[in-house]
Amino acid sequence: MSSLDEQIAKAANILRNGGLVALPTETVYGLGANAEDPVAVRRVFEVKRRPPTHPLIIHLGNPDQLSGWADRIPGAAHVLAESFWAGPLTLVLRRSVRVPDETIGGGPTVALRVPDHPVTLAVLNDFGGGIAAPSANPFKGVSPTSADHVRAGLGDAVDFVLDGGPCTVGVESTIVQLVDDAPTILRPGGVTKEDLEAVLGSKIDVESDSAIRVPGQHPSHYAPHARVRLARPEHLINEAETAHACGRRVGVLVPPPLHDVPITASVVVLVPASTTEYARQLYGLLRRLDEQGCELIVASLPEPDGLGLAIANRLSRAAGPR
Ligand code: TXA
Ligand code: MG
């Protein structure tokens, strides 16, 4: 295998030539293409089997590049960029003329972020432009948090997978819209609501799923092959054991207060007490339960504060109607 520097140069070259590169970020792996190359971007949608109306996030190498890609940027956006970039925060702003329709589904806004991963920052700085990158998984599936996950999901459809190790955050970026009214959270993620509020000095709302009209927010998303059923902690064990008694292969994600309770299920996973650690492991755990042949995963939602909000959001989506 070539050196990391050679791999970074190779990735930048492939992007320049219209190819697709899977890239590590601190949140999840992305499927990257030159954001200004409509042909390359169209291939991203094909490979993911994602409808072309669903806008992509454009990744930048440096917060200073923000003004090239967005117009009429409100002051709060600069404040958030200064505080959280490089990091797991995506800002939705009015698009500039630089952004091709294909990349953003033809809408009036663009989603931008500076990822916090040294390898991908090096690729961005060598490449020089913006990299459009959705999570590197088939549409509606579980996002990849390792290079192996990418290869398992997309295989040879990607020109190059740049392995930057396991993702440290493990859930996607927080998406904040700053277009007309007060900033709102469109998707909870790696930057917490509490941290955003501390920096903005005001409360920030989380859009309810039904209020979000932008394509790409589906009731069923982030879903493993197994069905996911949510239960209150006091019903979790009963729910899992009943399904198991009916002969189903059941996996159960057991929250810390129940770690010492004996449970009969096919696969029992004790989830970490720290939400930081739970977020980091969440997608890998869902994949492991699939690999172990579970037909049903029973889980409880963590308290919706800190990273618990993002974990609860992903588990709720995974349990959504298919
Ligand atoms: O952490 C992340 O954000 C990862 C890494 C690779 O950066 N990317 C990611 O991309 O999760 P994707 O495409 O899987 O999810 C992006 C979400 C979609 O739900 C899409 O609807 C939303 O961002 N989005 C993109 N552009 C938008 C826009 N202009 N307005 C509102 N939502 C937008
Ligand atoms: Mg995704």
DSSP 197-239: HHHHTS--EEPPGGG--STT--SS-S--SSEEEE--HHHHHHH
HSE (side-chain half, CA atoms, 13 Å) at 221: 16
* Antiparallel, parallel or unpaired: β 89-95 and 21-23: unpaired
- pLDDT reported for residue 181: 81
CB 56 within 8 A of CB 134: yes
Say which ligand is closest to the CA of 173: 1
**From the CA of 221, how far away is ligand 2's center (Å)?**
8
- pLDDT reported for residue 212: 53
**From the CA of 134, how far away is ligand 2's center (Å)?**
6
> 190's torsion region: left (phi>0), alpha (psi -120 to 50) or beta?
alpha
**From the CA of 40, how far away is ligand 1's center (Å)?**
18
- pLDDT reported for residue 208: 82
Structure tokens that stand for 172 in this block = 């996607």
- In this structure, the residues whose C-beta lies within 6 A of any atom of ligand 1 are 25, 27-28, 30, 54-57, 88, 90, 92, 104, 107, 109-111, 115, 133-135, 172-173, 175, 186, 214, 216-217
Terminal Cα-to-Cα distance of the chain (whole angstroms): 41
**From the CA of 247, how far away is ligand 1's center (Å)?**
39
Structure tokens that stand for 245 in this block = 């008694």
Whole-model pTM: value is: 0.96
Q: Is 82 exposed, middle or buried (0-12, 13-18, 19+ CB in 10 A)?
A: exposed
Q: Which amino acid is at 57?
A: I
- pLDDT reported for residue 180: 84
**Positions in the chain short of pLDDT 50:** none
- pLDDT reported for residue 268: 97
Distant-in-sequence, close-in-space partners of 64: CB < 8 Å, separation ≥ 6: none
CA gap 209, 186 in Å, rounded: 8
- pLDDT reported for residue 217: 62
- Closest residue (by CA) to atom 12 of ligand 1? 134
